[in-house]
A and B are shown apart, each in its own frame.
Chain A
Amino acid sequence: MPTGFVGGSIKDTNGKKITNLFVQAFDSDQEWFDDRSDDILGSTWTKNDGSFEISFSEDMYKENFLERNPDVFLIVRNSLGETIHISEVRRGLNKEDVKNLTFDIVLDSVEKKVEYSNDPYAQNNQRVMAAFQGIGESVDLTNNDVARVLTLLLRTMNDWQLYAQDISRLGFDGPQVPRYPWKDGHSHELKWETDARLRSQRIIRGSMNQPNRPYMEK
């Protein structure tokens, strides 16, 4: 006999109801006295109106004498089974609460969540290491070549260190934009540009949301 019920609806950020999502209700068992294995209470697909209903009985969640009522949370999956939302855990429920739980969920996407990064250069060391690891088999050195190559490699590394330290004394102008151009305001003027025509085209960039970039993803 069902003693518990969880229902609700799922909509997008525009208020549109989302159908065909898979909703699973769980009892969270992560407390010290629990077995650390969440119990599934039931599952269902959202209907045309975005609503869902799941009934469950006590034996779905009651493990031991310490566990009186479930700590309920939901996992929402898309039609591929990918997790797109995990709700908060409702704890401290009494018997009446358990009979009538409601979750109204708003989603900005039905696609798998992806963690975004704003630094395209962050993994460059790994790229370079992977590239050099791949060289070994493609190389065919005579003893002579090893000596020459090592010498060149050492010289190159030495040169790089020297120039990196002395770059300002070299008089090299260096990059004309900040390291993170999309974050840091900058103009498109060159340090050495004296032509007034180009100076008048000074544009201060601060973010990627510029009106003259019509194809930007919003």
Chain B
Amino acid sequence: MENIIYGTESFEKRVEKYKPVTRDIVRNVDVCVIGSGAAGAVLAAKLAEAGKSVVLLERGGYYDGESMNQREADMIPLLWKNGGANFTSSLRIAVAQGSCLGGSTVINDAVCFRIPDLVIGQWRKKGVSITKVQWDKANAEVEKRIHVTEVTEDELNENAKMLRKACEKFRIEDKPIKHSKNKRNCGQSFTNPELNSCVKCGFCHLGCHYDTKQSMLVTYIHDALNNPKADFTPYCNCEAQEITFQNGVATGVQGAFLDVTGQEKYRIRVNAKVVIVSAGAIASSNLLQKSGIGGPNVGKGLALHPAAFVMGRFDKEINGNRGIPMSYTCHEFGITNNVENGGFLIESIFLPVFQTAVAFPTMQMEHFAIKDFNYHTMAGIMVRDEATGIISLTYSDKPKVKYNPAESTINDLARGIGILARMWFNIGATSIITPHSGVPEINTRADIPRLRDAVRNDPDNLRLGAAHPQGGNRMGKDKSQNIVDSDCRVFGFKNLYVCDASVFPTALGVNPQQTIMALATITANKIIKNWKSFPIVKESLGKTCDKTQPRFCKTQTIGEMFAVIDHNTSLFSKLGNSEGDKIIIGKNWKFDPDTLQIYNDLYWKGFYGRDPDAITNILRYFGGFYKKFWKVDNTTFKGITHPFETQFVDARSIAKEKEIPGYGKVIHLEYENFPFSNAYDVLKMVNENTIIGRAFIGRFGRGRELFNFSMSRVYDVDFMTERDLQTIFDDSKLSYVPSGREIAGLWEGMLVSDSAVTPRTQVFRFDYEDGEVDMRYSFANMLVGISDTRVTKKLFRFDDPTSFHDEIRMVTPDLIVGRWVTDWSSEDELKPFIEDFNRILPIPIAKDVGNFLDVMANTLHIRGFPLPKEAGVSFLNVEKHEKKGTRIGLSYLLKRIS
């Protein structure tokens, strides 16, 4: 089996086999793993080695050691999440995480600790049933595989030796303190076998050029890729956007390949028996939230291991950047010395120069101090913090990390900074550079209490880093409080797992990579053991481009398909649509609530490409069209083409099969009436419900190509028309009035026109308590407010402060159809508003939201440009009723977020 890495970047030479992605991908596999870090890589590799077909989705790119050039400006944007701009919501703490194939293990300092026994005990009390025996066995396997060994004496650099000296001299009540050399995962480089251990360049944070750091990239991932019996495919530059599921079974993952600016290039649909989320703390919670999985507890309980750095200035050269950055630790005050709650480790670390600049709140005079770069030692206080952080979802589905260190954490930081400062002074430091802006430097031991007080009393001015986010999807026995059980399986699901640091019930207290790998080892073994319990793969194309669903294709791809696909001549007789324009549910119109697809034989609905450019977007939302055909005889159909929005385009046509050199036998659509008679279409029927076509201008057979398009009788709710929505709304078998309990949650809304449903334009939140429903809305992130809700026999209604109100009905527990409408009135009264809407392409910005109708009519500042009177605006729905009169409004869909 030849295993290949795929991605969107294209470098000519790579160590592993690599190919750029050139089109949408659909895979049907045993396992889909999201994230390639300490957990994802272990899970993917072990399951592939156990004979399962595995796809690994990784948001970041694939870079070889040879590309790692030890320069911060080059490597941080490539390897670090968000190019290093990964902050908590207050911008106070930068969270260092990797985003590349291999994850954070590519940019970490290779420090390895087993999970402390005390933590195993604490987690067991919280309902995690993994035993010490299981942890030890898994750790032993990991240690062997990534070559965990203790740092040797000659690997200690001067900075580490200074910390050791400081620890040896430090006494607490005359007793020595606990400290030791670190264990690290470094070993022989597979690309440069003459290098059999760490080269000690000091650039671990920027990726290991030499491939001696045994990151996931050069161990588990490399092994699985080159194992001829393994079926393993990593897809890089690939963001998992949604986990799809039904009735407690995850069916797969919808994702997108992104370019460097975050724009979608291609899509991927993975259908899998088992889905495992290992995207790291923060991203894993974000994915569950985006997918509507896990409920309100997702994102709670985030810990960061906040770290503060203290430098000591000495009269001799230390050259701290030379050598291994993190090779020594003082354990006295931390979990590794059985400190049960909180506590901290003091770890030797020396940051490269730019990170040093960011870590220290220097003022002008410190610039001169820091110029003695080589005369400074550095160490960090890493606190085992309380898990007070919360990850929430922003309007555009990004994660927002709210974290304020608890008082106990601040106290630990204050204590640790004070101790470390004392340690440096004890061994001869002449001054200390501190992480606190209010007390940036101290020159005597006597200033240490002032420094500690500053940290305690003014923590906002403390500069902190964090590299170990944990929690957010906690593991435990109680499903009302936690997200996953002890097997890392998501509660309520048969085949969905979350396995990474996000499941930690508390902060670990030590550098976590080895514990994450051990947990992944245990979880992989459990998955293999339970393999027969998993459901079969449910295949689906998702939203990927395919000849059977060209509505999801880019224009160029439709053209490529058009070139090589033959028209299925046996289907020509099925070109015609049902007569008339009345919807008869079950006959010429159907809705499938399982697939959320509509079958509509009133006409062929037309689609343009999914290209993200402005012109295609305008066509998508405002330029929708349909074609309707009826049979004349066995060889001929008559047809019409109409845009949805305007009636002044009325192109009558004749459809016949003809042979065109270069195209074969196709359907020629000849337009009869001027000015359309200068154009013609060539159509190819792919199946009974799908046509791809190309429009031409000029003489038949010699015309100039204009554009490619497709048409279908089957489409998803994302393409529903206002009439489709009305049909579902009005039919009691297709929709129902939800109860307050059913509607509770967060919903995203999309406006429905006849062309295509928009991206998210509004967010509704329904809270249900003791029989009462409260509703809050946010429209286009500009208008926010609350509405009064009430339930009638036919609908759920809520009234906002404007003259409009909403009427909604539920289709499935995760889908609602709704309308935001005026009350019934006479057509004359509403005519000015209808005309106004029809004349302007609106981008409304309301000044006063008191009376929305008045605002729109009189004071609304509308930016846009006037359209001809006959051209309509897609989203305005004018509804007429024989008895009730007329009303106007907008139609929308609501999809559940959580």
Contacts and interface: CB of A to CB of B under 8 A. Distances in A.
Contacts of B77: 121, 124, 127-128, 131
A131 B85 contact: yes
A15 interface: no
B12 interface: yes
Interface string B653-664: 000000001111
A17 to B, nearest CB: 19
Contacts of A123: 260
A182 B14 CA distance: 10
B201 interface: yes
B192 A188 contact: yes
A124 B73 contact: yes
Nearest to B703: A37
Nearest to B73: A124
A37 B74 contact: no
A86 interface: no
A135 interface: yes
B11 A190 contact: no
A168 B651 CA distance: 74
B195 interface: yes
B66 interface: yes
Interface string A138-152: 111100110011001
A114 B19 CA distance: 10
B371 interface: yes
A201 B564 CA distance: 56
Which of B66, B90, B154, B319 has most chain A Cβ within 10 Å? B66
Interface stretch (B331-339, B352-360, B594-602, B827-835): B352-360
B10 A116 contact: yes
A135 B371 contact: no
Interface string B124-145: 0000000000000000000000
B684 to A, nearest CB: 12
A173 B352 CA distance: 10
B685 to A, nearest CB: 17
B563 A22 contact: yes
B664 to A, nearest CB: 8
Interface string B59-94: 001010011011101100110001111010111100
B191 A212 contact: yes
Contact of B261 (A126, A203, A205): A126
Contact of A160 (B61, B71, B82, B354): B354
B373 A140 contact: no
A132 B85 contact: yes
Contact of B90 (A137, A140, A171): A140
A80 B560 CA distance: 7
A2 B597 CA distance: 48
A77 B67 contact: no
A56 B661 CA distance: 8
B847 interface: no
Interface in B306-356: 319, 321-322, 353-354
A215 B662 CA distance: 43
A88 to B, nearest CB: 20
A24 B563 contact: yes
Contact of B357 (A82, A117, A156, A208): A156
Contacts of A175: 69-71, 203
Looking at chain B's contact residues, the main secondary structure is loop
A31 interface: no
Which of A120, A173, A175, A178 has most chain B Cβ within 10 Å? A120
Nearest to B565: A81
Contacts of A118: 11-13
B801 to A, nearest CB: 26
B361 interface: yes
Interface stretch (B397-405, B570-578, B631-639): B397-405
Interface string B687-715: 00000000000100010110000000000
B20 interface: yes
B85 A137 contact: no
Given A138-B87, A169-B371, A115 B10 contact: yes
Interface in A40-83: 40-43, 56-57, 60, 63, 77, 79-83
Given A22-B564, A126-B260, A188 B83 contact: no
B260 A180 contact: no
Which of A118, A127, A170, A195 has most chain B Cβ within 10 Å? A127
A40 B203 CA distance: 58
Interface string A170-193: 111111111111100000101010
A40 B775 CA distance: 60
Contact of B564 (A39, A81, A155, A213): A81
Nearest to B357: A159
B319 A163 contact: no
Contact of A192 (B322, B363, B370): B322
B707 to A, nearest CB: 14
Interface residues of A, number: 88
A1 B82 CA distance: 64
A196 interface: no
Contact of B17 (A39, A182, A217): A217
Contacts of A35: 704
Nearest to B375: A171
Contacts of B17: 215, 217
A37 B704 contact: yes
B172 interface: no
A145 B209 contact: no
Given A138-B87, A203-B192, A215-B16, A176 B661 contact: no
B460 interface: yes
A91 to B, nearest CB: 20
Given A116-B10, A124-B74, A170-B373, A213 B261 contact: no
B367 interface: yes
A155 B563 CA distance: 59
B22 interface: yes
A137 B394 contact: yes
A133 to B, nearest CB: 8
B9 A172 contact: no
A118 B506 CA distance: 44
Interface in B194-226: 194-195, 199-201, 203, 209-210, 225-226
B374 interface: yes
Interface string A1-42: 000000000000000000000101100000000010101111
Contacts of B193: 212
B533 interface: no
Contacts of B90: 139-141, 145
Contact of A173 (B19, B22, B89, B322): B322
A155 B362 CA distance: 7
A177 to B, nearest CB: 6
Contact of B321 (A42, A126, A141, A173): A173
Contact of A203 (B20, B194, B663): B194
Nearest to A207: B13
B562 interface: yes
Given A120-B67, A159-B362, A167-B353, A114 B704 contact: no
Nearest to A62: B702
B18 A138 contact: no
B651 to A, nearest CB: 22
A131 B83 contact: yes
Interface of A: 22, 24-25, 35, 37, 39-43, 56-57, 60, 63, 77, 79-83, 111-112, 114-118, 120-121, 123-124, 126-132, 134-135, 137-141, 144-145, 148-149, 152, 155-156, 159-160, 162-163, 166-167, 169-182, 188, 190, 192, 195, 198, 201, 203, 205, 208-210, 212-213, 215-217
Given A170-B353, A181-B67, A190-B200, 7 more contacts: A114-B20, A117-B9, A120-B11, A127-B261, A176-B70, A198-B199, A215-B226
11 contacts: A43-B664, A114-B20, A115-B10, A128-B77, A137-B396, A159-B362, A178-B69, A179-B69, A182-B13, A201-B194, A217-B14
* The 8 residue pairs across chains A and B that have the minimum distance between CB atoms: A81-B560, A40-B662, A159-B357, A175-B70, A131-B83, A140-B89, A37-B704, A137-B394
